[in-house]
Structure 1
Amino acid sequence: MPRIACLHTIDSNAAVFDEALRATGLTGVSLRHTVRADLLAAAERAGRLTPEIAAETVAVLRGLCAEADAVLLTCSTLGPAAEQAAPDAPVPVLRVDAALAAEAVKEGGRVVVLCAVATTVEPTRRLFEAAARATGAEVSVQVVPGAWEAFKAGDPDRYRTLVARAAGAAREDGATQVALAQASMAGAAALLPEDIRPLTSPTVGLAAAATASRAG
């Protein structure tokens, strides 16, 4: 049974990934959740992912390798740390939004990527633009105004509503694909009609981790 260790920076994301596992239909996969909210909080205070925060994240990711067949970093702000941890890790270490980026840009066109946290913008932009070079997709990364404030205020319904509205507006403005950069945004997709539903990272990220764990 493949074991995937998930490193979260938001408590509620454990349930998001448990639900995503059920939605993917993956069988024989077990998830283990570790939450380090302090890492995202430190990045928010610094306004970015600093080398020190990245180094601590790398250490946590490598520690999780001991009892897993793959490790999945679910925080987009910390995403580059997964790329730093991966080369010397004994099992695959992935960032959840890498699979999202590949899926979002695969058909080219205009791709709008929505973030809730400002610290996520730059690592997300770099990731999606790198993926887009192979397909010629045009990538625009945007912050949803007021969304993170609603989340931190304990108002998940408003959080999801704001994200869904922004995703719908992006499609109306001509985006051929919309992706929700952060795993915590995934619930907003269900608020939109299926034909304009944005891509979310938990399901595609878990599928990628499961494939990597079996290959390893």
Structure 2
Amino acid sequence: MRIACLHTVDSNAAVFEAARPPGASLRHVVRADLLSVAEGAGGLTPAIRDETRALLAGLAAEADAVLLTCSTLGPSADGLALRVDAALAAATATAPGPRLVLYAVATTEAPTRALFAVHGADFEMRLVPDAWDAFRAGDLPGYHARVAEAADAGFAEGYATVALAQASMAGAAALCRRGLPLTSPAAALAALLSRPGTPRG
């Protein structure tokens, strides 16, 4: 199965390669500028949405499936790609409650909240303090440590399920000690491979 991934951070390519199942090949396209402009604008704008959709349409012409891995740009995917956070929302909705959804960048909050609500999940959302600053500074270990600390705090508070809303957060799961959070790369790839008629080679 040929899967094209549109990322807005370089490190997400490695995250999805680590989660890649047998029989799937991944093509990675990174457009960090789209997230940078969205952050500067305070969120997704019509112009960014249109540019993202054009990119997704081009990728769809050359792949069996397309993944949009950026939560901020997520609403651009409609009809063109699978939002990885949509797969995560679906998995979270069927997981045990109570549920906590963690996110690291402010522009992700609104689209993530709307998406999880559509999937019927009863959840609380929480920003991981200072995590995105660490990521932007190139401190990936520090970023994942902050996310893992927040996830463990959630489990300690009694949340049965903790979901990591952004794909870039997935590396924190291995650092957690009180439970295993749900991550969007694993959820999205599993969702693709479970579709009827999915190519296996």
- TM-score, L = length of structure 1: 0.88
Counting matched residue pairs gives 199
Post-superposition Cα deviations, 1:127-148, rounded to whole Å, max 9, x if no partner, equal 111112xxxx421111100000
2:95/2:161 contact within 8 Å kept: no
Alignment of 1:118 with 2:106, yes or no, is: yes
Written as runs of structure 1 = structure 2, the 5 A alignment for 1:132-147 is 132=120, 137-147=121-131
Give 2:50's match in structure 1, choosing from 29, 44, 55: 55
Q: Which runs of 4+ in 1 moved over 6 A?
A: none
Please state how far the C-alpha of 1:99 moved relative to its aligned partner.
1.1
1:80 corresponds in structure 2 to: 75
Give 1:158's match in structure 2, choosing from 142, 147, 151: 142
CA distance in 2, matches of 1:61, 1:210: 19
Structure 1 residues 203 and 107: alpha-carbon distance in aligned structure 2, compared to 1, 3 A threshold: closer
Give 1:169's match in structure 2, choosing from 153, 173, 196: 153
Alignment of 1:41 with 2:41, yes or no, is: no
Please state how far the C-alpha of 1:172 moved relative to its aligned partner.
1.5
CA distance in 1, matches of 2:12, 2:171: 11
Letter in 2 for 1:20: A
Post-superposition Cα deviations, 1:70-117, rounded to whole Å, max 9, x if no partner, equal 00000011111111xx1xx5xxx2001111111112145221111111
Alignment of 1:14 with 2:13, yes or no, is: yes
CA distance in 1, matches of 2:190, 2:167: 14
Gaps in structure 2 of 5+ consecutive residues: none
Post-superposition Cα deviations, 1:7-66, rounded to whole Å, max 9, x if no partner, equal 000011101100011xxxx32211000001011011100011111111111110001011
CA distance in 1, matches of 2:72, 2:6: 12
User: Which has the larger helix fraction?
Assistant: 1
Structure 1 residues 212 and 82: alpha-carbon distance in aligned structure 2, compared to 1, 3 A threshold: farther
- TM-score, L = length of structure 2: 0.94
2:4 corresponds in structure 1 to: 5
2:182 corresponds in structure 1 to: 199
**What RMSD in Å do the two structures reach over aligned CA positions?**
1.5
1:28 corresponds in structure 2 to: 23
Structure 1 residues 157 and 213: alpha-carbon distance in aligned structure 2, compared to 1, 3 A threshold: farther
Gaps in structure 1 of 5+ consecutive residues: none
Task: Calculate percent identity across the aligned residue pairs.
Answer: 59
Letter in 1 for 2:149: R
CA distance in 2, matches of 1:212, 1:41: 33
